Chains A and B, each alone.
Chain A
């Protein structure tokens, strides 16, 4: 099973709302990732978690707050977002975060900020 699940599929939120995106994998992977993908653009890395610890933050604004409650779950907490944050948010996982491991992606959450 190489499935990464994400909920919700779609999310519309106002700029004053607080919401969370959820990601889950049951492949025993120890690395999990959040990417942001704008329309007609490639995915851009936001965060890397390795063994449940935040390893890389690609200078992401603090209105995005990641959390890894356990090795299977990854959350992205959203607060006070801007309309330009509207995008497809992709979660991925890999066996390890070091070089040479492919990443498996979830279907994404389509976020619209109004």
Chain B
């Protein structure tokens, strides 16, 4: 079964500083990888996705992520954080386990809460 590890539960950065959120996945084949963001009490918004091809993917709101197969990682980055980026960030892996009959199951990491200080 697939799994996702987000080692940092909580991260605090200063506004204008760079950001990197870590994500490691476990899956036997090439996974589908996603980063979502969730503001308090809200649904999840897709930031970016990786399916194949270029390992550096660009997303919305100035975010990017790099897929590194050798490290089983898909870290999210932003060069300059804005106060509005404060939220919960979820890394997710999509896979089609044998029991699903071809249906994709998305498994989410535990999330990283980002705090931005002025």
A positions within 8 Å CB-CB of B: 4, 6, 40-43, 45, 48, 50, 55-56, 88, 90, 92, 94, 97-108, 110
Chain A residues positioned under 8 Å from B34 (CB to CB): 102
From known contacts A42-B108, A42-B111, A45-B106, infer whether A100 and B44 are also in contact, taking CB-CB under 8 Å: no
> Cβ of B105 and Cβ of A56 under 8 Å apart?
yes
Chain B residues positioned under 8 Å from A110 (CB to CB): 41
Chain A residues positioned under 8 Å from B103 (CB to CB): 48, 50, 55-56, 97-98
> Cβ of B102 and Cβ of A43 under 8 Å apart?
no
In the complex, number of A-B residue pairs with CB atoms less than 8 Å apart = 64
- Chain B 44-68: CB-based contact to A (< 8 A → 1; otherwise 0): 1110010100000000000000000
> Cβ of B42 and Cβ of A41 under 8 Å apart?
no
Which A residue sits closest to B105, measured CB to CB? A45
Pick the 8 closest A-B CB pairs, nearest first: A42-B108, A105-B43, A105-B44, A107-B43, A99-B104, A99-B96, A97-B103, A108-B43
Listed A/B pairs (21) with beta-carbon separation below 8 Å: A4-B43, A6-B43, A42-B111, A43-B90, A48-B103, A55-B100, A55-B103, A56-B100, A56-B105, A88-B41, A98-B96, A98-B104, A99-B32, A100-B32, A102-B46, A103-B46, A103-B106, A105-B36, A105-B43, A105-B44, A107-B42
B101 within 8 A of A: yes
B110 within 8 A of A: yes
From known contacts A99-B32, A99-B96, infer whether A90 and B43 are also in contact, taking CB-CB under 8 Å: yes
Q: Which of B32, B44, B101, B105 has the most CB of A within 10 A?
A: B44
B95 within 8 A of A: yes
Chain B residues positioned under 8 Å from A50 (CB to CB): 103
Which A residue sits closest to B9, measured CB to CB? A40
From known contacts A55-B101, A110-B41, infer whether A42 and B46 are also in contact, taking CB-CB under 8 Å: no
Which A residue sits closest to B110, measured CB to CB? A42
